[in-house]
Amino acid sequence: MITIRFRDETMVLEQSHSLAEILVMKNYHGQHFAVALNRQFIPRSNHVTTFIQDGDVVDVISPMQGG
């Protein structure tokens, strides 16, 4: 069992998953977001090869208004 934080919510998983799998589980399919793992940007091209470890923190970054 591993425990991670996804968008400030606790997620308990039976095994490690790739970032791409986690995003699908959480229903993220669009293009207009980016992902940070432990505050480091993970490019979309690396989502499949990046595996989540116990204690990881995943943030989803989205567009907003700005000046």
> For strand 34-37 and strand 40-42, is the pairing parallel, antiparallel, or unpaired?
antiparallel
Binding status of residue 60 toward other proteins by CB under 8 A:
yes
The only residue of 3, 25, 33, 49 in contact with other proteins, by rule CB under 8 A: 33
Residue with Cβ nearer other proteins (36 or 48): 36
If binding is defined by CB under 8 A, does position 32 make contact with other proteins?
A: yes
Residue window 2-31: x/- pattern of binding to other proteins, with contact defined by CB under 8 A = -----xxx--------------------xx
* DSSP one-letter string for 19-37: HHHHHHHTT--SSS-EEEE
Closest CA to 59 of 24, 43, 35, 33: 35
